[in-house]
Amino acid sequence: MSQALCSRFRKSEEIWGMSHPFTRSAMDVLGRLYIGLAFALTLVGGAQVTFQLTGRTLVLGGVSYFVPPSPVSQLQLIGDIKTQKLIQSIGRTFAGALIPFSALTTETAHLDENSLEKTLHTWETLDDVWSRYFLTGLFVSFNGTSRSPPSISLPNVAKSLGTQIVLTSKQYTSGTRVSEKLAPGPYFVDAISGNVFQALRLYNDENQAFLYGTISDGHDGFQELSAHIGGAATESIAVPSRLYFTPTAQKPLAGKRLAVKDIYDVQGLRTGCGNRAFYELYPPKNKTAPAVQRLLDGGMVLVGKTKTSQFANGEVATADWVDLHAPYNARGDGYQDGSSSSTGSGTSMGAYSWLDHAIGSDTGGSMRGPSGANGVFGNRPSHGAVPLDDVMPLSPELDTGGIFARDAKSWATAGHWWYQNFTSFTSFPKTILFPIDDFGQSFLSNPPRPGTANALFNDFINKMETFLGTNRTEINFSNMWNTTKPANVTAPSLQLLLNTTYADIITLDQIALVADPFIADYKVAHDGRTPFINPTPLARWGYGRTLPATQKNEALVNKSIFMDWFATQVVKSDNATCSESIFLYPQSSGRTNYRDQYRSPPGVPFGFSSGRIAVYAETPDMVVPIGELAYNSTVSGVTEFLPVSLSFIAAKGCDLMLFDFFAALQDAGIISPVQTGSRLFQT
Ligand SMILES: *[C@@H]1O[C@H](CO)[C@@H](O)[C@H](O)[C@H]1NC(C)=O
Ligand SMILES: *[C@@H]1O[C@H](CO)[C@@H](O)[C@H](O)[C@H]1NC(C)=O
Ligand SMILES: *[C@@H]1O[C@H](CO)[C@@H](O)[C@H](O)[C@H]1NC(C)=O
Ligand SMILES: *[C@@H]1O[C@H](CO)[C@@H](O)[C@H](O)[C@H]1NC(C)=O
Ligand SMILES: *[C@@H]1O[C@H](CO)[C@@H](O)[C@H](O)[C@H]1NC(C)=O
Ligand SMILES: *[C@@H]1O[C@H](CO)[C@@H](O)[C@H](O)[C@H]1NC(C)=O
Ligand SMILES: *[C@@H]1O[C@H](CO)[C@@H](O)[C@H](O)[C@H]1NC(C)=O
Ligand SMILES: *[C@@H]1O[C@H](CO)[C@@H](O)[C@H](O)[C@H]1NC(C)=O
Ligand SMILES: *[C@@H]1O[C@H](CO)[C@@H](O)[C@H](O)[C@H]1NC(C)=O
Ligand SMILES: *[C@@H]1O[C@H](CO)[C@@H](O)[C@H](O)[C@H]1NC(C)=O
Ligand SMILES: *[C@@H]1O[C@H](CO)[C@@H](O)[C@H](O)[C@H]1NC(C)=O
């Protein structure tokens, strides 16, 4: 704990009063585990025992909380013996001596019943961590400019709230604002040490999206959360109060709770990449990936690592997920495949309102698939949008880092911060490219039947046309290649040009960068044994091992041919709108994909489809939920609903234009934020 934190509260408190005798019904301490300050006990024989505090769990008002091992401040009542004794006596009545209290800041000298009640009511609607059970103690900081001591009616107010003890900051008397203060919100104070701890609420990861929860290690790193509140095969996740954070220009993402796909390194944590042997073999990382650090620097709070399909390869629930169990997609009956490979990040966003954002990666669809299946916003950015150092590679030439959201506006805020090197544009493209081969038909000559995904797409595109003041341009994408491809390229179809391109690049890259070093390291550590590898990566690496080393260069040449053609013939750059056009294709169509199906063994990802466009062309491909469709569930026996979403492609580097476009569409009521759980939209 830093000296700066310890000293915050010194000599700045004054006791105002106490009222009712304490009742302990609200608080029931479940258990205690200590970490934080690691130290060693030297035994008689000289052997050393390390002892590390790992925090405490408790239940207050029926809600589970976690008290982190490191305090954020310390209350010191120097010379005030009476107050110290009072706090200690309250503390003794709480098992564990932790007194819940609320900190608040006020400009008004006269904090009356009404204004206090108004603040508390706002807190209740804003925050899921604070509750009225935190009113046992009240710490009031004045940040007003009043020179004379304010008239205080606090004790009466406090009485009405059942508050036991009220402390106020004394610094207002100097006539200056209190600059060092405890951020508003719920806390616990240790009655014996005076240490002040943040209150973290514990949630159950019912959808099994997380590998583990995380908390700050009190320095620049993190540690795995030690708490567990029960539940079938679930992790617990601890989240801090939203009241502690206020977004600023320097920290626009302050307090946004973030989950990170377990292929990104984070200081203090192991990276598992969906493989148990890999998790065990390598020690905790000593560096946080710059892409994650950028989000933390913007104020986000890391709450956990989410499950990835193994080594970020495409796995189908459930049979392909041998080492880990596939996370549960919250939509519909709750037994649909959450897609992969950023599965845990996508499912967590569809399931948990207490989580704001999750990041993943997209090499061949690993952001876009989970976005579509889980009915959330999610993007594959332009290639190179964020550095992917200290992130497990599938293929550096194709890997990208994307972010999930449930709201286009917070998505845009996060995107602008994360993809800092791109440029914003103030106007939007006027051309909507509608590839009829992707939608299966021309909607102009053959309007879709109501109640189908195509009808939802058509309605949405109609609104988009009105918004942009344009009409869609129908194209036949495959035909376009045949008629506009470079003269010296013979392949008559994209299938022939690109059939093996993706499979060749990812398998050759991942064998060299991940598989071979991992297997060699494991053998050294395990007497020549090989580690377990899931069927999908095993099949893919097996294919890669049959290829000549020259195959990757040939594949990269074909990739470049496509990229250049797409940028010059299909979606061009534009000086005024970044991208001359927006290219649409269906991402999810409300179709079932039950997780209890037995399928054929995993193969190698050959072929070409629209999902590969952005992969080769290095463009953004952003997924937006636009509706949901009914189906009769074979699981629940009733009508359920699954997401329908569209993919939006623009020219390379036009990510911010698209983020702003979606925010504008949300302002115009054309797209809506999604909620968590079975249904996307309020019914
Ligand atoms: C005092 O604190 C309150 C609550 O945090 C805040 O709304 C207000 O703007 C602050 N006033 C000043 C003068 O800093
Ligand atoms: C951090 O870890 C890397 C990889 O294991 C290692 O090479 C490096 O020496 C470590 N750095 C520090 C400062 O421990
Ligand atoms: C973004 O720009 C900064 C500053 O020029 C540079 O250090 C960083 O590498 C760039 N990031 C990416 C992803 O290109
Ligand atoms: C697109 O063009 C191809 C090749 O000319 C043709 O086979 C296909 O039927 C066309 N698709 C549609 C939806 O018209
Ligand atoms: C869109 O098409 C309709 C019907 O053909 C036409 O009336 C309208 O002028 C077109 N709008 C634009 C912006 O081109
Ligand atoms: C490509 O165009 C040529 C010439 O117009 C035609 O013969 C051929 O069938 C087309 N191929 C495909 C795959 O559409
Ligand atoms: C095709 O021609 C372009 C120049 O027009 C050249 O850059 C490219 O290498 C050629 N591609 C092949 C496959 O020959
Ligand atoms: C794609 O390549 C695979 C493996 O070589 C082959 O089995 C398949 O037939 C090819 N598909 C097409 C459309 O060429
Ligand atoms: C590259 O494209 C050519 C056709 O132009 C095709 O024959 C070849 O198989 C492709 N190779 C790879 C690795 O994609
Ligand atoms: C776009 O800007 C570049 C450089 O500023 C200029 O050379 C080019 O002519 C512009 N293109 C259009 C279509 O205005
Ligand atoms: C569900 O089943 C009922 C009865 O068979 C049928 O009428 C209805 O159309 C089905 N709904 C959907 C969405 O398939």
Using the mean position of ligand 3's atoms as its centre, give its distance from the Cα of residue 421 in Å.
Answer: 6
Look at residue 125 in the predicted model and tell me its pLDDT. Answer: 97
Residue of the nearest CA to atom 9 in ligand 3? 387
493, 497, 500: residue to mutate for ligand 8 pocket, most atoms within 8 A of CB: 500
pLDDT one-digit tens code per residue, 251-308 = 999 999 999 999 999 999 999 999 999 999 999 999 999 999 999 999 999 999 999 9
The answer to whether the CB of 469 is under 6 A from ligand 5 is: yes
pLDDT one-digit tens code per residue, 413-435 = 999 999 999 999 999 999 999 99
CA–CA gap between residue 501 and residue 515 (Å, rounded): 20
441, 476, 483: residue to mutate for ligand 4 pocket, most atoms within 8 A of CB: 476
Q: What is the mean pLDDT of residues 480-485?
A: 96
The answer to whether the CB of 396 is under 6 A from ligand 3 is: no
CA–CA gap between residue 24 and residue 133 (Å, rounded): 11
The answer to whether the CB of 436 is under 6 A from ligand 4 is: yes
Ligand closest to 177 (CA) is 1
The answer to whether the CB of 484 is under 6 A from ligand 6 is: no
Amino acid at 630: A
| Nearest ligand 7 atom, CA 488 | 1
Tell me the pLDDT band of 436, cut-offs 50, 70 and 90.
Answer: very high
Query: Can you read off the two tokens belonging to residue 342?
Result: 């950023």
Q: Answer yes or no: is pLDDT of 649 > 60.
A: yes
| Phi and psi angles of residue 59, each rounded to the nearest 5 degrees, phi first | -115, 125
The answer to whether the CB of 462 is under 6 A from ligand 5 is: no
Residue of the nearest CA to atom 10 in ligand 3? 421
| Nearest ligand 4 atom, CA 477 | 1
pLDDT one-digit tens code per residue, 499-518 = 999 999 999 999 999 999 99
Using the mean position of ligand 5's atoms as its centre, give its distance from the Cα of residue 466 in Å.
Answer: 10
| Nearest ligand 5 atom, CA 469 | 13
What's the whole-model pTM score? 0.92
Look at residue 266 in the predicted model and tell me its pLDDT. Answer: 98
Query: Can you read off the two tokens belonging to residue 598?
Result: 């037995």
Tell me the pLDDT band of 443, cut-offs 50, 70 and 90.
Answer: very high
* All domains of the chain in start order, with CATH: 1-51 (no CATH), 53-198 (no CATH), 204-418 (3.90.1300.10)
Residue of the nearest CA to atom 2 in ligand 5? 471
Ligand closest to 590 (CA) is 11
Look at residue 667 in the predicted model and tell me its pLDDT. Answer: 98
Contact by Cβ (8 Å): 386, 498: no
Residue 555: strand, helix, or coil: helix
Tell me the pLDDT band of 177, cut-offs 50, 70 and 90.
Answer: very low
Contact by Cβ (8 Å): 626, 646: yes
Mean pLDDT (the chain) is 89
Residue 100: strand, helix, or coil: strand
Q: Answer yes or no: is pLDDT of 205 > 60.
A: yes
| Nearest ligand 3 atom, CA 420 | 1
Under 8 Å CB-to-CB from 625, ≥6 apart: which residues? 371, 375, 376, 377, 643, 644, 645, 671, 674, 680
pLDDT one-digit tens code per residue, 336-345 = 999 999 999 9
CA–CA gap between residue 542 and residue 540 (Å, rounded): 5
Residue of the nearest CA to atom 11 in ligand 4? 437
Query: Can you read off the two tokens belonging to residue 42?
Result: 């030297």
pLDDT one-digit tens code per residue, 216-265 = 998 999 999 999 998 888 999 999 999 999 999 999 999 999 999 999 99
Q: What is the mean pLDDT of residues 400-420?
A: 98
444, 445, 471: residue to mutate for ligand 5 pocket, most atoms within 8 A of CB: 471
Length of the chain: 683
633, 639, 641: residue to mutate for ligand 11 pocket, most atoms within 8 A of CB: 639
Ligand closest to 558 (CA) is 9
Ligand closest to 554 (CA) is 9
Contact by Cβ (8 Å): 544, 508: yes
Residue with tokens 């604002």: 177
Q: Answer yes or no: is pLDDT of 616 > 60.
A: yes
Ligand closest to 283 (CA) is 2
